[in-house]
Structure 1
Amino acid sequence: MIKDNLTSRSIRNNNSYNILKALVDQQRLQRSELTVYSKVSVITVNKIVDKLLAAGVLTETTAESSIGRKPKELTFPQDLGFFCCINLCKISQIGYFIYDIHSKPLSEGLVRVERESDFHTALGECLFQIGQAARQMAMPLLGVCVSVPSVYYEQEDAVNCDLIPGLENIRLKKLLRESFCIENITIIHDVCASAGIEYRLAHTDSLYYFYLGDGLGSAYVRKGELIQGDSYAAGEIGQGITSFEGEECTYESILSISGLCRQLGASGQDELEETLKRYPAMGTIEKKKIDPILGLAGEFLYNICWILNPGMIVIDSSIPILAELIRFVTMKKCERLGSAPIGNHVSVTLPMEKNHYAMKGCVLLLVERWIEKILEEASKGSVLDVN
């Protein structure tokens, strides 16, 4: 891959990005502190900050102090705007979450979906409530990110509907543009968003994220890049085939929540969770039903170590005890890596981001794209174009 040449304009935009990102992360900084966090020279910081102040992107106020000098601090305006993340990954409900630019939750809401045919209506009610929230806060909506349960096809503006048929024929990006009159719209597969936030939190160059829920999914991040494949199908491991108890089947039919319920005779997720919680105290005969399933997951993840060679594997599930059991089995399998003829090693962990429905990965992505949009406008010769 040939890297883009860094022109004087792109260098300025990189500096501006670092300054804005530092303020997103730290919330308020003095100019002298900003040079440290952004790794930009004092002269350049002053030039860029003056332009950002003139554009109304930042404000500068005197810090509150009872003694000594009162330095000035840079912050984003309180009425700058907000970001909204929508969770479309559940059949029975649609959740939305509102954040400020620092990813601080401001409010949230939930719309129930009574029947599959009502999904479009429920989504419309969700968008109406978000619009109401915007009017009550008297702030502009700066971006929307939608988490979906499968592949999103940008050109067709369509979501693969195998898990939630109610998404069929809904043109999400078109609907959001018409509802909110904004362009900063991101639609992302939920496992990709989760893998992204786990990668940010981890100390590794590569990470494989494995999720067991209504379906079975995964995502691979290497050096900050999400690897999605030619048809955006990389990570759709649920569709992979294996042999289980003498029959050819998909991984999803065995390892998804519905697959586990069917095999273990559980009526639903709650009963399945209670069954798995009893696993440590189970006798040998009772464990015989569960051990082959756990072994299948552990074997698959062991093989991932040789196919992708990630530095870290994160195992996640809507049933936490299930993720814990699979992690234990996978770690035992991966002990073989140390004695393999080719050197290999991996860290197997549970997720560090516990609040799945806060969708931290989604809001961080939105904020970054908002910054990029500001700088894109700057590159066209606006007030941020520092000479």
Structure 2
Amino acid sequence: MIPGTHVEFPSAAARLPAPAANVLLAGFAREGVIVVIGNALIAAALTAVGIGKSFFGNLVFSEAIGLSIMLLLDLGRFHLQRRNALTGPRLAVAMVLAIVLGAALGRGVASLLLGLDLRKAFATKDLALTGWIALTATLLVTWYGWSRTRIAELSEQVARAAWQREAAERTALGARLQALQAQIEPHFLFNTLATLDSLIASDPPRARTLLASLNRFLRATLEASRAQSETLAAQFKVLDAMLAVHAMRLGPRLAYALDLPRDCADLPVPPMLLQPLVENALKHGIQGAVEGGRIDVSARRDAQHLELSVADTGSGFGTTPGTQGAGVGLANVRERLTALYGDRASLTLIENVPHGLVARVRLPLPDAAGANTNGAAP
């Protein structure tokens, strides 16, 4: 005679629309199984303490009464939900009515099934005993249902809080990455504008060429700063425009080459990833050497990784703090790699024989990277 176990309380049920028919049927079937099992346990307990003539008789009475109470309680709750009138007091009234009417209905049905006299089924003593047992079982199951509902609500709150915290972390990470990738070396702009100013008077055609390269570089850099990812081909175009500007400034002191294989061109990479490395090679490797030098930017891939390298023939290790990995540009790249890939990406600096420096970035390929644990797109 255990009544419904999925009692919905006003805090949740009053806000929910009437469930679909299949959901109601599934819930009713699940509840019915629990009620049948609980009724069998109650029948066994009554038989053990000497109430009733046999276990079979107690089982029939217990099942008939319990299922009747469950049916009436579900009908009352469904009626209140349809009218959007399910409140605590009304649910309590529906529960009392279900217990009283269900106990009487169940005893009548059980008596008919067992062939007993209906007048004995409604004896005051038997009705009172049935009512107390039904009330006790109903209170226990109601407490159980409330506990499950409360646990579900708390679990939902915890999940919602975790989702909100993760969303806030993703937003903060995105803003941080945007700030990091939007950094442009100010000295590059100042030096280029100074060169442009001198070329306007001495060599107007070269000034126009320099201005076109600068315009191409700034446009591409602005687009990259707003993007979450870009292809390696697009990034190499930015580097080509950037090195073309520097070549106009430095003349024969700078030579450069870009090597991008076809199987790497369409791979997605973080925007402006290589630009700080090229700037570092120019500032600490080429510009500081009287004879200048050469910069080679290349890409290679294997089954699981993409390897990008920026090699220069400049001063190499030990000349400036930047060449030892303490420069802002190198720190920027390392921080972005950590934020985007964790320990699945790396930046290493090695000596370029016979002199110079090689900055090598190793990234997981998109199909090998899997889901990004930090929630940021590469």
Identify the TM-score tier after normalising by the shorter chain: under 0.3
Give the number of the structure whose residues are more often helix, by fraction.
Answer: 2
Give the number of the structure whose residues are more often strand, by fraction.
Answer: 1
Structure number with the bigger relative contact order (C-alpha 8 A, sep ≥ 6) is: 1
Report the TM-score, using the length of structure 2 for normalisation.
0.20
